[in-house]
Amino acid sequence: MAKTWEEINARIRSGDAVVMTAEEFAALADDEGVTRAAKKVDVVTTGTFGPMCSSGVFLNFGHSDPPIRMAEIWLNDVSAYGGLAAVDTYLGVTQPSRTRGMEYGGAHVIEDLLRGRAVRLRATSYGTDCYTRTDIDTWITLDDLNQAYFFNPRNAYQNYAVAVNSTDKALYTYLGTLLPRFGNATYCSAGALSPLLNDPTYRTLGAGSKIFVAGAPGYISWEGTQHNPHTDRDEHGVPVRPAGTIAVIADLKAASPEYFSAATFTKYGASSFVGIGVPIPVLDEDIAATLALTDADLTATIYDYGVQHRSRPAVGKVTYAELRSGEIEIDGKKVPTGPISSLPKAREIAAELKRWIVEEQFTLAEPLQLLPQVGSQAFKPLEINTGEAI
Amino acid sequence: MARKRLDLTFPPRQSLKPIIYHLVKDYDLVPNILRAQIHPAQEGRMVLEVTGSKENYEAGISFLEEQGLAVNEAASDIVLDEARCVNCGLCTAVCKSDALTLDPETQTLQFDKDKCVYCEACVIACPRRAITLTF
């Protein structure tokens, strides 16, 4: 009973497609069985809303008179990249402000732009024969920019670490405050709603996939940085550690501050919550089986962030259902848990993407090139070498 | 009956009289220490919730002031800005008094101020800076 992308898209266009969120689909599969659910449903929507540090925007400011070839650029005192053409830049979400530090970073500039606020643009230049101006100080809004689009090199991590701290001191990390002596555990995944956990072997995902990015229609543009299909997997083929990632692209002008939120992790830095939603076609029973998995079926690995090494020791495994219960057990000790990825937002995103497909005929796109497949590439560390040794 | 939250500042080298004992014994007040940081040679601070009759409460405050303590009745307050909150839940990982919890069904943040001990751990844990301490 296989369905094709064309058949599913034809049903979306005619308004006959049956679309469910991953949670709704799992409940249906539980009631009626995977076979019937696979037959009944055309598309399953997923969503996630967690901090994603590898995110940012390309901007084009337009030319001033006389024009400037911007070399050093600040937006509300946050440095943006000056190594592109005259008035192009890339602003990354983690870049801290030169005056306010990590409390206001690139992410906060992007949120201000999304909220329609004016942002101060300052730039300097060495001046050229064709770009004579050497400095500029002005204000811009999102509407003033020619182009403004997200290009996020790594979003929607497929599974993530559960973080604990074995030391005697609190640690301030990108996974939040980790209390001493296993005082808490934090985790960061939408679990059963998470996009890449629902298509664990990347059968339907790759460059060209149409997705939801921060409230805007966008695309998977490439594999994400650190995409690592080669990792431990459970009996369903689902990774039990951080694995696949996607790079995404979308129009900032079509995005919403409801689905993009600037963040600061104390003593770590600025970042942003990014809302990502991915529709997955129910092509056959195999994919339906992974779409039907619930938090009780999905496993994450617990790592000790108190160990300051690249390979932190794993101290156990736990399901997302256990994590959601608010308490897990590590070596017989009860440890309270706290999430970092917002489940209410993930649910909103999956529901909104479903609405796009049902009400606005948002069709699916078969990828032009699938993400690198299981077994295709290794994940390499960075070795510290000398020029001579290389 | 009055129930008030007080922010007490202890001067350095004060006599270290057992003030809590006296509040209970002499003024029939029910003190609940929410947080305290007191060192003999430094200025100290205590956030105290006090329950008792109006007369006893006023007499107790006078007693504290006689001991050289600065008493601030408008004690600081923890405020959650729901418009900024994205319900990530990270604050619940550091809240030891279970004042901040997630609804088991909706996973949205619930703040039960009666359980808050004003430790401020959530203030620095919140990545949205949606929880603030006001004065």
Interchain CB distance below 8 Å, A176 and B107: no
ipTM value for the complex? 0.93
**H or E element at residue B123:** helix B121-125
Q: Yes or no: say if A336 and A327 are a contact pair by the CB < 8 Å rule.
A: yes
As a whole-number percent, the residues of chain A with pLDDT over 70 amount to 100
Q: Alpha carbon of B14 to those of B8, B59, B65, B69: distances in Å?
A: 13, 20, 12, 9
Beta bridge partners of A356: none
d(CA A357, CA A353): 6
Q: Yes or no: say if A208 and A222 are a contact pair by the CB < 8 Å rule.
A: no
Residue A367 has pLDDT above 90, yes or no: yes
For the segment A68-83, what is each residue's pLDDT rounded down to a tens digit? Answer: 999 999 999 999 999 9
Smallest CA-to-CA distance from A220 within A371, A5, A112, A18 is with A371
Q: Where does residue A219 fall: left (phi above 0), alpha (psi -120 to 50 degrees), or beta otherwise?
A: beta
**How far is the alpha carbon of B132 from chain A, nearest alpha carbon, in Å?**
14
Chain A residue with the nearest C-alpha to that of B97 = A336
For the segment A170-182, what is each residue's pLDDT rounded down to a tens digit? Answer: 999 999 999 999 9
Q: Does domain B77-134 have CATH number 3.30.70.20?
A: yes
For B94, which of A179, A271, A343 is closest by C-beta distance? A179
A187 close contact with B: CB closer than 8 A:
no
Q: What pLDDT is stored for residue B16 in this prediction?
A: 65
SS (H, E, C) B39-57: CCCCCEEEEEEEEECHHHH
Place of tokens 């079509």: A254
Smallest CA-to-CA distance from A367 within A236, A223, A250, A238 is with A223
Q: What is the mean pLDDT of residues A320-342?
A: 96
Q: Does domain B2-72 have CATH number 3.30.70.260?
A: yes
Q: Copy the structure tokens of residue A249.
A: 């692209």
User: Hey, where are the domains in chain B?
Assistant: 2-72, 77-134
How many other CB atoms are found less than 10 A from the CB of residue A349? 29
For the segment A149-203, what is each residue's pLDDT rounded down to a tens digit? Answer: 999 999 999 999 999 999 999 999 999 999 999 999 999 999 999 999 999 999 9
Beta bridge partners of A337: A185
As a whole-number percent, the residues of chain B with pLDDT over 70 amount to 93
Q: Yes or no: say if A160 and A242 are a contact pair by the CB < 8 Å rule.
A: yes
Instruction: Give the largest Cα separation in chain A, rounded.
Output: 72
- According to DSSP, residue A373 is labeled P
Q: Yes or no: say if A300 and A160 are a contact pair by the CB < 8 Å rule.
A: yes
Can you say whether the dihedral through the CA atoms of A172, A173, A177, A181 is positive or negative? negative
Q: What pLDDT is stored for residue B10 in this prediction?
A: 85
d(CA A189, CA A158): 8
A50 close contact with B: CB closer than 8 A:
yes
Check if B2-72 and B77-134 are the same fold: yes
Q: What pLDDT is stored for residue B74 in this prediction?
A: 67
B88, B98, B128: best to mutate for the A interface, most A CBs within 10 A: B88
A259 close contact with B: CB closer than 8 A:
no
| The one-letter amino acid at A172 | Y
Q: What pLDDT is stored for residue B7 in this prediction?
A: 86
Q: CA B4 from chain center: how many Å?
A: 10
How does residue B33 score in pLDDT terms, banded at 50, 70 and 90?
confident
Q: Yes or no: say if A376 and A223 are a contact pair by the CB < 8 Å rule.
A: no
Q: Alpha carbon of A11 to those of A15, A143, A184, A199: distances in Å?
A: 6, 36, 47, 22
Query: Catalytic residue among A130, A378, A382, A389, which?
Result: A130
Q: Which residues of A touch B102 (CB under 8 A)?
A: 326, 339
CA R_g for chain A = 22
Q: What pLDDT is stored for residue B14 in this prediction?
A: 61
d(CA B33, CA B117): 8
**How far is the alpha carbon of A179 from chain B, nearest alpha carbon, in Å?**
7
Residue B15 has pLDDT above 60, yes or no: no
Interchain CB distance below 8 Å, B127 and A336: no
Give B50's contacts (C-beta < 8 A, 6+ positions apart).
B2, B3, B4, B5, B6, B23, B29, B30, B31, B32, B57, B60
d(CA A332, CA A182): 11
What is the pTM for the complete model shown?
0.91
Q: Yes or no: say if A46 and A348 are a contact pair by the CB < 8 Å rule.
A: no
For the segment A109-128, what is each residue's pLDDT rounded down to a tens digit? Answer: 999 999 999 999 999 999 99
Q: Which residues of B touch A48 (CB under 8 A)?
A: none
Q: Yes or no: say if A217 and A370 are a contact pair by the CB < 8 Å rule.
A: no
**H or E element at residue A222:** strand A216-223
Q: Copy the structure tokens of residue B26.
A: 């002499």
Interchain CB distance below 8 Å, A51 and B106: no
Q: Which residues of A touch B127 (CB under 8 A)?
A: 51, 176, 263-265, 271, 273, 340
| The one-letter amino acid at A96 | P
For B87, which of A184, A265, A342 is closest by C-beta distance? A342
Residue B12 has pLDDT above 80, yes or no: no
Q: What pLDDT is stored for residue B6 in this prediction?
A: 87
**How far is the alpha carbon of A69 from chain B, nearest alpha carbon, in Å?**
35
Q: Is A130 among the residues known to form the active site?
A: yes
d(CA B107, CA A87): 44
Q: Copy the structure tokens of residue A244.
A: 């696949």
**Cis-peptide into B11, omega within 30 deg:** no
User: Hey, where are the domains in chain A?
Assistant: 5-52+151-370, 62-145
- According to DSSP, residue B28 is labeled -
The helix, strand and coil proportions of chain A, stated in percent and rounded to the nearest 5, come to 20, 35, 45
Tell me the H-state helices in chain A.
5-14, 22-32, 34-40, 106-114, 195-198, 285-291, 320-324, 343-359
